[in-house]
Amino acid sequence: MDFLIFKAPMLMVQASLDGILLGILFALIAYGMALQWGVMNIINIAQGDLVILGGYIAYTMYLAGIHPAWGVIVSPIIMYFVGVLLYKLVINKVVDRDLFISILATFGIAIVFQQLMNFIFGADVVVAQSEYGTTMLFDNSVTLPNSKIFSAFISVLYAVALVVYMKKSRLGRAIRATAQNARAAKILGVDTEKVYAATFGINAALCGIAGALISITLTLHPYVGLPYTVRSFMIVIVAGLGNLPAVAVSGMGLGLFEEFADYILGTEFRIGAVFMLLVFILVYRRFKLSKKREYLK
């Protein structure tokens, strides 16, 4: 084993810290995915493209001379309305239908989003400079950009705020009621149509926050949305719907996996490794479930 990472233990610390901080960000996106999947029973392939769009909003602010960190406040507000609009145009027609229809329809949306972003923002890889500097640890052998710490902190903040909101507020209760049983909620006077719109809006807003954070920590490009979708999908199927601590943990696990795959396999296989991991997780899950399936339902 002549991999660099096993020769220099400090690289392991570096990769672990990077991975965990990145994973928290993934968990935030996955939380949005779990929310809409649980409530509306749709799988949104355009999730990653919503993230990238949110990032471009922050990037536009950066170009206009405003510090991109303000994007974490502006971007979710704009993205909320984008989400509601998207719901009114397309998503409301796929809510009660076959999951494959939602997959294909959102795949179409993803293509439209990618192309529009390509027109508006160009096909270059961009990054918004936060100029937060870096923190050096262990005698300067581990470098940690402060923007990553900032992004993890903001992600946790928003996630906690959302959990509290879902528990305490009227809309949050309505969303949870709809997720449990949409019909019963309807009978009891919950306007499920509004709840769905709000859910999708909140999901888009979460994507907006994540995107703004990605614009200062990683890079933006119109066509990199799909890996984020797949990551969030993966986290959700590992953690299960509505299990928030598990979402956070598996998000961090995914971040760690990615950083280590980056060092061991090489950067060119990073995205490939993510998608292969998806396949392995699904196949593993299938064999685990097939052992349980002993009777017909």
Partner 1 sequence: MNKVKQKDLILYSGLIILGLAAPYLFSAFKVQLTYLCVLIVLAMTWNLQGGEMGYNTFGNILFYGLGMYLTASVQVGMFFPLAEWTESGGEKTFVHTTAQYFQGIGVGLLVSAIIPAIVAGAIGYAILGLRGHYFAICTLGLGIAAGEIAGGIEIIGAGQGFTTPPFPAEIVDTEARGKFFYFLSFALLIGTFIFVKYIYGSRFKLILNAIRDNEDKAEAMGIQTMKYKITGWMCSAFFCGLAGGIMGGLIGYIDSTDVAFDGREMGVFMVLMAILGGKGTLWGPVIGATLFHFFKEGLWTLILGWQYVALGVLIVVIVIYFPEGLMGWLREKYPERFGEVIDEKDRKAQVELK
The binding site for partner 1 (CB under 8 A) comprises 43, 90, 93-94, 99-101, 103-105, 107-116, 119, 226, 230, 233, 237, 266, 268-269, 271-272, 275-276, 278-279, 282-283, 285-287, 290, 296-297
Whether the Cβ atoms of residue 232 and residue 37 lie closer than 8 Å to each other = no
181: left (phi over 0), alpha (psi -120 to 50) or beta: beta
C-alpha–C-alpha distance, residues 86 and 93, integer Å: 11
Supply the minimum distance, in Å, between the C-beta of residue 129 and partner 1: 28
> Which of 133, 148, 141, 147 lies closest to 19 in space, CA to CA?
148
Supply the minimum distance, in Å, between the C-beta of residue 195 and partner 1: 21
- In Å, the largest CA–CA distance within the chain is 64
Supply the minimum distance, in Å, between the C-beta of residue 51 and partner 1: 17
**Residue number, 112 or 161, with CB nearest to partner 1:** 112
**Residue number, 119 or 165, with CB nearest to partner 1:** 119
Supply the minimum distance, in Å, between the C-beta of residue 266 and partner 1: 7
Supply the minimum distance, in Å, between the C-beta of residue 68 and partner 1: 27
**Residue number, 69 or 94, with CB nearest to partner 1:** 94
**Residue number, 170 or 297, with CB nearest to partner 1:** 297
Supply the minimum distance, in Å, between the C-beta of residue 135 and partner 1: 32
**Residue number, 183 or 287, with CB nearest to partner 1:** 287
**Residue number, 69 or 117, with CB nearest to partner 1:** 117
